Amino acid sequence: MLKPVTTDIEALKILDERLRWLSAWTIHHANHVRANADGLKVGGHQASSASMSAIMAALYFHALGPNDRVAVKPHAGPVLHAIHYLLGTQSREALENFRGFGGAQSYPSRTKDSIPVDFSTGSVGLGVAITLFASLVQDYLTAHGWMDEKDRGRFIALIGDAELDEGNIYEAIIEGYKHDVRNLWWIVDYNRQSLDATSADRMFERFDEIFRSCGWRVVELRYGKRLRAALDKYPKLKSWFDALPNADLSALHYQSGAAWRSRIEADVGKSAATFLKEHDDAALASLFTDLGGHCMETLVEAFDAAQDDVPTLLIAWTIKGFGLPFAGHKDNHAGLMNPTQMAALRDAMNVREGHEWELLEGVGGNARTGVEALLDRSRNAREKRARSFGAVTVPTIPTPGGEEQSTQAAFGRILLDLSKAGGDLADRILTTSPDVTVSTNLGAWVNQRGLFRRSEMPDVFAKAKIASAQKWSGGNTGQHIELGIAESNLFLMLAAAGLSGDLFGERLFPIGTLYDPFIARGLDSLNYACYQDARFLLVATPSGITLGPEGGAHQSINPPLIALGQPGLRHYEPAYADELAAMMEEAFRLIDDPHGESTYLRLSTRSIEQVERPDDSWREGALKGGYWLRAPDLNAEAAIVAMGAVMPEALAAWEELREDIPGLGLLSVTSPDLLHRGWTAAQAARWQDERKPSHIEQLLSALPPSAGLVTMADAAPASLSWLGGVLGQRVAPLGVEKFGQTGSLADLYAAYRLDGSAITEAVAELLLPA
Ligand SMILES: Cc1ncc(C[n+]2csc(CCOP(=O)(O)OP(=O)(O)O)c2C)c(N)n1
Ligand SMILES: [Mg+2]
C-alpha cells in the first residue's frame, strides 16, 4: 500500500545538503584545519559520504520508525555523525575531533562513539549480515513472548555496492531464506565504484537474481524524477543511457556537461538533437546526476511503498562524490578536497566563512521552519532501548557425576541438567550451531528444548517411528537455532543474539558450538562480535590432536593463541568436569555483567579420570587462569605446567618423577589468556597505582627463580611458553607445531611429544647444567 508522501520534500532536500556539507566539512576540518602533530594523513571519505547523504536523509528524517535499527556503511560514518549533530545528539566537539583520540570514530562504533550506533561497521559485509540475524533474534524474542509484536522494528543495512562482493552476505541470505527472515531493508548505494576503480558491469543483474532467488524483493531506483521524465521522451537516448558501462558513466559524471553533449552526439546522433537543444551543458550535467539515490521524491516513495515485512533490497543509483569536484572520478575513494575546492563548495552551499559548524547555516525564511519541524519529528521518532544487564540470576551449576568424563560430554550433561531444572536462565539460553549440534553434544538439550522455527516443523522420522536418539522437530517455542555449515553465520548469530539486551532490552544467553579448528573460518565475524561487545558463550569442541583418528584437517593447533590476542573473549580450557561447571557459571555471569565479556571454552572428547578434591580451594584459581593441582616445595627444581586434556599425562609424569625431583609441582593452567592479561595489567598498575602481583606471579613465586618449567598443552607451545618470562624461570615447552595426522592417542602423543617420556626428557633438559 502506498502511503501518501506527507513529509516536506523541500525540507528533506535541505537536510540532504546539510549532511553533505557537514560530513565533508568534518573530514576537511580533521585533515586541513585541526593541528596535526605527527604528520600522518588523518583521512576520511568525502566521496563515499556524499554518495549517501540523500538516502540517509530520507531514511533518518522520514522513514525510520522508533524500533528500527540501522547498520551504516562504514565510510558513511561522517553522515551518521552529521545526522546526530543536526538532531542534537552529537557534539560539535566530537566532530571537531573526528578520527582524533576520544572524538567521533572513523567508522560507526557501538562502543566508542557517543551517539547511538545500532551496529558497528568497518569490516565490510559484516554490518550487512548482522542485521539479518538481528531480525531473526527479534522473531525469536516475539515468538517466545519476551517482546511485544507491536515493538517490532525493521533492520536496515546501508551497503556500498562493492561490499556486495563479500561472500558472507550470501551465506547470510541463504540462512535467512531457510528461516523465512523478514523486516529487512538492505539499501545499496549503487555508485558503481569500489576503492580501486569502477565495479564490474556484468554483476549488476546477477545481484538481483541472487537476492530474488533467496526470497527477496528487489527494487531498483535508477532514475530520479527529472531524469526519468526526460528519458521517457527520448527512448533511444534512454536505451543508450541504460547501456552505458559503469566506467563510462563515472567518467562522464566527472567530466560533466560538455562531455555528455559530445558523447550523446557521437553515440545517439540525430534522435537526441532536440533533447540537446533543450539542455545547455549545465542542464545536462544536472539532469544526468538526477539518479534515484539522489532524488528525494524517488527515495521517499520507495521507502513508503516497502511497508510490508518482505525482505527488500533497494538498489539506489548514485554518484560517488555527488556534488563534489571529484564526483565520478575512479580514484575518489579516499580523495580529499583541497582548501580551495572546499571554499568553493562552501560558497556554493551558502555557508559563510567562520559559520561552517552552524546547524542550519544558509537555511533561511520559511524553509527553516519546515526543517526545524522535521528535525523535531525525527528526534521524537527515534527511541533507544535501555541496555539490559543484571536482570537474571545465574544459579549454581552443579558438576555432573561420573568418575571418568570428557569435558564435551560434561558440557552436554550440564545443559541437560539445566534444562530439566528449568528457571529463568534456562529459558533465556539460545543455542545455535552450524550443523554440528549432535557432534558437539548439544543433542540432549535440543531434545528437551526443541528447534526454533517460525512455523511448525514436524519430526518426520519420529512420526514414522524410526528409532533415533535425536528429536528433530521445530516450532516457535524452540530454543535452538540450527544453522547450515557456515561458521561466519554462527558468529554473526552469536553477535546478534549477544546484543539482545542492547537491541531489544531483553537478555539472552547465547551458546554457540563448533569444532575448534573451524573458529578460523569465521574469525573476522567472531572479532566483529567481540568488537561490538556482544555477549555469548562459544563452545569449541573437539580440539587439538586429542581427537585422534579424525586426523589433521580436524585438529586444531592455534586457537588458544587466537584467544590470547582477542579482546572481549575469555578463553577457558578445563581438564575436569567440575572446572567446566564453574567456568560455565562464570561465563553466564559475565554475559549479564555490564563489565563482563564473552567466553570461549575449548573442550575435548577425551574421557579422563576425574580428580578427587580435598576442598574447593582450586575453584578460585581455576577461574583466574590456573591453580596448583600438586603444590610444589619452595625449593623445587622444576614444575610441570599443563592445560586441558593432557592432564592425565602430566599427572602420571608427576607421579613418576616426584621421587627424583623433590617438591616437583604440577600447575594446572585453565586460561593462558587470563594469566597473561593479569600479568600485563599488574605491570601497568605498578606505574600507575600500587603494585599487586598478578595471579600467575603469585602462582610461580611458589617456586624458586632458578626452577624450570615444563609446559605442555594440546595446542601451539607458545600458548604457555611465555610463562618463563613472568619470573625469569627457564622453560621447556611441549605442544603441537605441525599439522597432525590420524592415529590413536598413544601414537599421536608419542609422535607429537605430549606423553610421559617427552615430559621426562623435557625435565632432564631443564636440569642439565647450562
Ligand atoms: C573486509 C574489508 N576489506 C577491505 C576493506 C577496505 N575497503 C574499505 S571501503 C572499500 C571499497 C568500498 O566500496 P563500496 O562498498 O562500493 O563503497 P563506496 O565507498 O563506493 O560507497 C574497501 C575495499 C574493508 N573496509 N573491509
Ligand atoms: Mg561503491
pLDDT in tens, 720-744: 999 999 999 999 999 999 988 999 9
Beta bridge partners of 160: 189
Report whether residue 157 contacts ligand 1, using a CB cutoff of 6 Å: no
Coarse DSSP helix, strand, coil percentages of the chain, rounded to the nearest 5 percent: 50, 10, 40
Q: Whose CA is nearest to atom 23 of ligand 1?
A: 195
User: Quick one: how many helices (H) and strands (E) in the chain?
Assistant: 33, 20
User: Quick one: average pLDDT of 352-380?
Assistant: 93
Ligand 1 atom 13, closest CA: 194
Buried b (16+ CB within 10 A) or exposed e, 129-145: bbbbbbbbbbbbbbbbe
Q: Check pLDDT > 70 for residue 403.
A: yes
H/E element, 487: helix 487-497
Q: Judge whether 85 and 109 are in contact, CB under 8 Å.
A: no
* Secondary structure element (H or E) that encloses residue 70, with its range: strand 69-71
- For residues 735 and 714, the answer to whether their CB atoms sit within 8 Å is yes
Q: Are strands 665-669 and 626-630 parallel, antiparallel or unpaired?
A: antiparallel
Number of CB atoms found within 10 A of residue 475's CB: 15
**Confidence bin at 314 (pLDDT 50/70/90):** very high
Encode pLDDT of 219-269 as tens digits: 999 999 999 999 999 999 999 999 999 999 999 999 989 999 999 999 999
List CB-based neighbours of ion ligand 2 within 5 Å: 160-162, 191, 193
Q: What is the dihedral of CA 309, 311, 312, 313, to 10 degrees?
A: 160
- Residue 756 sits at φ, ψ, to 5 deg, of -60, -40
Query: Which residue from 51, 53, 72, 124 has its CB within 8 A of the most atoms of ligand 1, so it is best to mutate?
Result: 124
Mean pLDDT of the chain: 95
The ligand placed nearest to the CA atom of residue 56 is 1
Side chain identity at residue 744, one-letter code: S
How large a percentage of the chain has pLDDT more than 70?
98
Q: Is residue 1 pLDDT above 50, yes or no? A: no
Establish whether residue 279 lines the binding site of ligand 1, counting it when its CB lies within 6 angstroms of any ligand atom: no
Exposed e or buried b per residue across 708-743, where buried means at least 16 C-beta atoms within 10 angstroms of its C-beta: bbbbbbbbbbbbbbbbbebbebbbbbbbbeeebebb
Banded model confidence at residue 687, pLDDT cuts 50, 70, 90: confident
CB 160 near ligand 1, within 6 Å = yes
CB of 316 shorter than 6 A to ligand 1: no
**Distance from the CA of 319 to the center of ligand 2, in angstroms?**
9
Q: Which single residue is written with the C-alpha cell 555471569?
A: 589
Above 90 in pLDDT, residue 3? Answer: no
Extract long-range pairs of 746-749: CB within 8 Å, 24+ residues apart: 748/545, 748/546, 748/548, 749/545, 749/646, 749/649
Ligand 1 site-directed mutation target among 75, 128, 189, 528, most atoms within 8 Å of CB: 75
* C-alpha grid cell, residue 733: 615447552
Q: Can you give the pLDDT at residue 769? A: 72
CA dist., res. 448 & res. 14, Å (int): 57
User: Which of 52, 126, 195 has most ligand 1 atoms within 8 Å of CB, for mutation?
Assistant: 195
Omega before residue 458 within 30° of 0, cis: no
Does ligand 1 have an atom closer than 6 angstroms to the CB of 305? no
Tell me: the pLDDT tens digits for 175-218?
999 999 999 999 999 999 999 988 888 887 889 999 999 999 99
Cell numbers standing for residue 59:
531514511
Q: Which pLDDT score is estimated for 384?
A: 59
Per-residue burial over 360-384, b = 16 or more CB atoms within 10 Å of its CB, e = otherwise: ebbbeeebeebbeebbeebeeebee
The three cell numbers locating residue 553: 584437517
* pLDDT of residue 690 exceeding 50: yes
Task: Confirm if 141 and 504 have CB atoms less than 8 A apart.
Answer: yes
Residues 6+ positions from 248 with CB-CB distance below 8 Å: 263
Q: Model confidence at 351, in pLDDT bands (50, 70, 90)? A: very high
Give yes or no for residue 399 having a pLDDT over 90.
yes
Would the CB of 195 count as within 6 Å of ligand 1?
yes
Mean pLDDT of 674-696: 89
Nearest-CA residue for atom 12 of ligand 1: 194
**Closest atom of ligand 1 to CA, residue 320:** 20
- For 6-10, 301-305, 427-431, 714-718, which range has the lowest pLDDT when averaged over its residues? 6-10
Establish whether residue 198 lines the binding site of ligand 1, counting it when its CB lies within 6 angstroms of any ligand atom: no
Ligand 1 atom with minimal separation from the 124 CA: 26
Atom number, ligand 1, closest to the C-alpha of residue 45: 19
Nearest ligand, measured from the Cα of 332: 1
72/128 Cα distance (integer angstroms): 8
- Give pLDDT tens digits for 586-618: 999 999 999 999 999 999 999 999 999 999 999
Ligand 2 centroid–CA 617 distance in Å is 58
- The rounded distance, in Å, linking the Cα atoms of 338 and 317 is 27
Indicate the pLDDT class of residue 6, thresholds 50, 70 and 90: low
Model confidence band, residue 525 (pLDDT cutoffs 50, 70, 90): very high
Nearest one of 496, 561, 415, 533 to 181, comparing CA atoms: 496
Is the CB–ligand 1 distance for residue 138 below 6 Å?
Answer: no
Predicted pLDDT at 768: 84
Largest CA distance in the chain: 103
Q: How confident is the model at residue 756 (pLDDT cuts 50, 70, 90)?
A: very high
Q: Using 50, 70 and 90 to split pLDDT, how confident is the model at 401?
A: very high
Cα torsion angle, 654, 657, 658, 663, sign: negative
Question: To 5 degrees, how large is the angle CA 501–CA 506–CA 508?
Answer: 75
127 lines ligand 1 (CB under 6 A): no
Bigger pLDDT: 686 or 529? Answer: 529
- Do residues 35 and 100 make contact, with C-beta atoms less than 8 angstroms apart? no
Q: What pLDDT is stored for residue 200 in this prediction?
A: 86
Ligand 1 atom nearest to 199, measured from its CA: 16
**Ligand at shortest distance from the CA of 528:** 1
Find the DSSP H helices in 268-384: 273-278, 281-288, 296-305, 339-348, 365-381
What is the pLDDT at residue 383?
62
Under the banding of pLDDT at 50, 70 and 90, the label for residue 770 is low
CA of 74 to the centre of ligand 1 (A): 8
Mutate to test the pocket of ligand 1, among 56, 107, 166, 194 (most ligand atoms within 8 A of CB): 194
Q: Which atom from ligand 1 is nearest to the alpha carbon of 123?
A: 26
Give the SS3 label for residue 568: coil
Ligand 1 touching residue 164 (CB < 6 A): no
% of the chain beyond a pLDDT of 90: 91
- Residue 49 CB–ligand 1 contact under 6 Å: no
The per-residue pLDDT for 239 is 97
Q: Whose CA is nearest to atom 9 of ligand 1?
A: 195
- Which ligand is nearest to the Cα of residue 162, counting in written order? 1
- Which ligand is closest to the CA of 122, given by its number? 1
**Which residue's entry shows cell 520559511?**
366
Q: Is the CB of 123 under 6 A from ligand 1?
A: yes
How many A from CA of 86 to the centre of ligand 1? Answer: 27
Residue range 467-524, pLDDT digits in tens: 999 999 999 999 999 999 999 999 999 999 999 999 999 999 999 999 999 999 999 9
What residues are paired with 601 via a beta bridge?
539, 572
Ligand 1 pocket, 649 CB below 6 A?
A: no
Distance 163 CA to ligand 1 centre (A): 6
The Cα–Cα gap between 281 and 283 comes to 5
Tell me, in angstroms, the distance from the centre of ligand 1 to residue 273's CA.
40
- Give the Cα separation of 117 and 228 in Å (integer): 36
Please tell me which residue, 685 or 759, carries the higher pLDDT value: 759
| Pocket lining: 91 vs ligand 1, CB cutoff 6 Å | no
